[in-house]
Amino acid sequence: MKLSVVVMSDPKQGDEALGRLFNALALAAEAQRSGDDVELVFQGAGTRWPEELTKLGHPAAGLYDSVRTLVGGYSKGCATVFQAEPPKALCALGENELGADVQVASLRARLADGRQTLVF
């Protein structure tokens, strides 16, 4: 299976956002164990998550570490809009050019590539 797991929940929104993140990471981990071609993408306000997940004691940090190799990157334009500071090691994605130097990760490109795309 080809799968893109896209995290858009905002870590500033509390338990529901954490639940969405946790389930996205759990799905990515399960897909990885099953041998699927899986990628994890942070988009929208979700571009704030990678920085949060590197903080000591974060409840999802261990699960994030287990799937960190699956992170395809974060949406470059979204990180700018939401003033996120993803770690420099992550790839900035910008396949969808919106003009005026605004580029975001393309969900359409992932769908066109045959990836089932789930948004959390």
Looking at residue 92, which CATH number applies to its domain? 3.40.1260
Rounded to the nearest 10°, the torsion over CA 102, 106, 107, 108 is 120
Q: Specify the pLDDT at position 36.
A: 98
| The dihedral sign for the CA sequence 115, 49, 54, 30 | negative
Q: Specify the pLDDT at position 101.
A: 82
Taking only the tens place, the pLDDT of each residue in 33-43 is 999 999 999 99
Give the domain range for residue 113: 2-119
CB 67 within 8 A of CB 40: yes
Backbone dihedral region of 79: left (phi > 0), alpha (psi from -120 to 50 degrees) or beta? alpha
Q: Specify the pLDDT at position 102.
A: 87
In order of 58, 60, 92, 109, the CA distances from 65 in angstroms are 11, 9, 19, 26
Q: Specify the pLDDT at position 57.
A: 93
Pair of tokens at residue 72: 């395809």
Q: How many domains does the chain have?
A: 1
pLDDT string in tens for the chain (120-residue length): 999 999 999 999 999 999 999 999 999 999 999 999 999 999 999 999 999 999 989 999 999 999 999 999 999 999 999 999 999 999 999 999 998 888 999 999 999 999 999 999
- Count Cβ atoms below 10 Å from residue 51 Cβ, excluding itself: 16
Q: Specify the pLDDT at position 43.
A: 98
Q: Specify the pLDDT at position 24.
A: 98
